[in-house]
Amino acid sequence: MDNSKKTPEIERYSGQFDQTDWSSAYCNVEKECTNIKLKLISGQVPPRLKGSFYRNGPGKLERNGQWVHHPFDGDGMITLMRFNNGEVTFSNRFVKTQAWEEEEKADKFLYRGVFGTKKTGLAISNFGDVRLKNIANTHVVKLGNKLLALWEAAGPHALDPETLETHGLSSLNGALSPKEAFSAHPRFDPGHHKDPRMVTFGVSTGPKSTIRLMEFATKGSNAGNLISDRKDSFNGFAFLHDFAITPNWAIFLQNAMDFNPLPFIIGQKGAAQCLSSKSDGKGKFWLIPRHSGSFSNQPAKIIDAPDGFVFHHLNAWEENQSVIIESIFYKDFPTIGPNEDFRNIDFNQLPAGILKRCRINLLTNETEQETLSTQCCEFAMVNPYFQGLSAKYCWMATAAKNIGNGPLQAIKKLNLINKGSCEWSSSPRGFVSEPLMVPEDSTGNEDDGWILVMTWNGKFQTNELVILNANNLSHQATLEVPIKIPYGLHGSWSDS
């Protein structure tokens, strides 16, 4: 049943949100829990929903009175919500990285953050210290019998998927060399070439950038083993957080960025604060043939991309002689300056993320673009079984108002064909993180399943887990989370 027929944009709450409600979610996680049964506030947990919902995000934002400059610099903390027979249990653990252990013992920042956090002490102590602290805070995925906490500038940390105990840095059975970068945004191929696999990458940046494209088995006795591997080099500095896949291609968008390392080297700025958009630059699509596809022995393709900055892609697929990719575009790179407080940012001064579709003609190397939704959005996803295929629906977190930037307060289901939509909103005093679509099975309708989303209730100063019907976003259940958790980044689902 399609409950997102083409209708005018929904009239949304347009009043001014309370900045204190929004910023009050930023805090340190003060407690680690083990298998606590979540209290049901309303509704009923669907009994057919069985499995584990993992989330990652910054859990340590302040040490001895000093706050991180940007929440992206906070140490990673994993949550696990296990669903079974209509009940949900909750566990959480910090990722015990070497740097986390050192800073816990010292009760101060011993490392600089990529997004501007400085070491505790005199400003001169930051001069010349270009070490990167692996904060393992961006994503969490299960690969074989290990849970991986990901941060894209370094290697993954392996955790026990049941207890969340940290086992240390992982080389993935020797696939990674020490200190090698490993993406925090893998894509899971549902089985375009018989067997499902995890497709991911690492990038070495500079005047010339090299992408290492890797594919890992996810099922059977060889789960976790590297099964394909290639490297491609491109001119220019690469700032890449995400990519997309089709059966034949891995698609990257090289944002038109400059990197001036001097302020980072002398201790004035974090590495990410040294990025700026090229006013006369042009972004590029890099299309790398997948080893399992029809063009595996061919070189990568380089094609001009539309103007704008992209963190996240929704999906991609192939159609005739074209590759279509859907992405969230910003007019410029959104950043928090050295003298700004992230808890008091003015959303009106930051560019809004807008979902757009690019059609890349592989014969002419020309690209056409169309806007799919004018509403500010982030964290968009399709049904995982449609990864790399033409999908009819997507689900995403959005601002509460129709136009302009704002905090994420609603979940929107968008029909990608006729652009009809429906939504569930937590405004005016609620705020959402990334929604996760859990399909009921691989054989039903594309929108059969559930949406899981962690929210922040500004009125009651608490986190809540909300379960929605993926078909029409009708409310299924709300459960109370026993501890306060800052806004998270990415999460994943593992069937029981």
**Binding-site annotation, residues for Fe cation:** 185, 241, 312, 490
Q: Per the annotation, where are the binding residues? A: 185, 241, 312, 490
Place of tokens 């696999």: 197
Phi-psi bin for 224: left (phi > 0), alpha (psi -120 to 50), beta? left
DSSP-derived pairing of the beta strands 367-373 and 377-381: unpaired
Beta-bridge partners for 226: 216
Structural contact between residues 288 and 230, judged by C-beta atoms closer than 8 angstroms:
yes
Quote the Cα angle for 395-191-171, to 5°: 90
The two tokens of residue 117 are: 């956090």
